[in-house]
Every structure is written in C-alpha cells, then in structure tokens.
Amino acid sequence: DAKTTQPPSMDCAEGRAANLPCNHSTISGNEYVYWYRQIHSQGPQYIIHGLKNNETNEMASLIITEDRKSSTLILPHATLRDTAVYYCIVRGLGGGGADGLTFGKGTHLIIQP
Amino acid sequence: GAGVSQSPSNKVTEKGKDVELRCDPISGHTALYWYRQSLGQGLEFLIYFQGNSAPDKSGLPSDRFSAERTGGSVSTLTIQRTQQEDSAVYLCASSIDRGGVQPQHFGDGTRLSIL
C-alpha cells in the first residue's frame, strides 16, 4: 500500500470548514483513498473513501486531485465533537495475505470553540 | 443501525490468567478483523476471517493468542497465560467483503489491563 503524509496537527474554529490534506504521491491506479478518524477512547470510525472522483456523504467530502497524488478531506461545519485524529490511508484491491489496515500518525484536528 | 459490538469494554486480570474477548460484527459482514492498539501506538493487525475460509493468522504475536469465528458471525479472541505486555485495546472490525474496497467498521474495543 502507498505511503501517505499528513500534517501532525491542525486547528479549526467551530462552525468553519475543516480542510485536512493528505499527500499520497506514490499511489497506484487501483488504490483507493480512505479516511478514518479516532476520537479518544473510541474505535476508529470510517468517514469516506474514493478512487478518483470527488465523493460526498453525510459526514464529509473528499476531494482527490486529478493526478491522484493528493487529497483533501473537508468537514463542512466543524463541531467540537469533530476533535479527533484523522487518518488518510491508501489501499489496493485484495493484495493477498492480511487485509489489515495500517494507520500512520494522522492529523490531530482540534476544533476551537 | 447496529454497529460492531465488543465485550467486555474493560477487562482487568492478573498475569498468567486466560482471557476471552468477544466481537459481534455487523450483520451480513463476511470479513472480520482483530487488531491491537497499545497506548499512543498505531493499529497492529492480529487475525482476519473471511466467510468460511481458513483465517489469516499472520499477525498473531505468539501461540498464546488464538481466535475463532463460529457460524460466520461472532468471534472470540483468546489470550492464554496473559503477560503484562498484552495490555492494550483490542479492536474488532468487520467489512461487507474482502478485497479492500469496502471500508472496515470498528467496535470501541476491549481495554485489557494485565496486573
């Protein structure tokens, strides 16, 4: 699976849009971009994933650049409950052996009141 | 809807005892994963079940760890003769398929403390 790079931390004011970047310059054609987050003392929570088109669901939007080397997760109206560590992961289909996820350091997003 | 359920949420036990952790995956999810997360660390993959296939045990750290999945649904992770280094949060996740496309959905884990 391709390696991803994220800033270690970000602040965002409550009610504003939080834009979390992720670089995945070595992504290959069959690899998807996934975003998870982990709130303290809880299990990781799936947010969204995409291949090459932008995606939107009830939680967030995912913008993937045309060359697929980077992406941005957008939380449109951040609330205090969105404070968490956000993980960007790139994974391909199958891959054999374990399909376990590997989380990097992620971005610690802090929503300020 | 019902998510992945794990029990107990917390378990404290003495070194040398056996422990059993339970995971109820989301109904209809054929893939089930166990992970371990130590304090401040990332996820450590332990074992993977897919349907009726033989499990992928490649991540189990020692032969004290075992897991089973009965009827393609509920799974139990057993740790025998626990050691202090086994203290961690044990997370279970399920997915609707294999192949990495569909996302994994996690429970809130069992926090295991070995005294």
From the candidates A46, A48, A49, A85, which should be mutated to test the interface with B, based on the most B CB atoms within 10 A? A46
Residues comprising chain B, all counted: 115
A63 closest CA partner among A33, A87, A38: A33
Residues in chain A with CB shorter than 8 Å from the CB of B101 are 32, 93
Beta strands A70-75; A18-23: pairing state = antiparallel
Residue range B12-38, pLDDT digits in tens: 999 999 999 999 999 989 899 999 998
Specify the pLDDT at position A35.
Answer: 96
* Residue A94 in contact with partner chain B when CB distance is under 8 A: yes
From the candidates B104, B110, B111, B113, which should be mutated to test the interface with A, based on the most A CB atoms within 10 A? B104
**What percent of chain B is modeled with pLDDT above 70?**
97
Residue range B57-68, pLDDT digits in tens: 888 999 999 999
Mean pLDDT, range A7-34, rounded to an integer: 94
Per the DSSP assignment, residues forming a β-bridge with A87 are A36
How far is A77 from chain B, CA to nearest CA, in Å? Answer: 24
Q: How confident is the model at residue A79 (pLDDT cuts 50, 70, 90)?
A: very high
The 3-class secondary structure across B35-73, one letter per residue, is: EEECCCCCEEEEEEEECCCCCECCCCCCCCEEEEECCCC
How many whole angstroms separate alpha carbon B36 and alpha carbon B87? 9
DSSP string, B74-94: -EEEEE-S--GGG-EEEEEEE
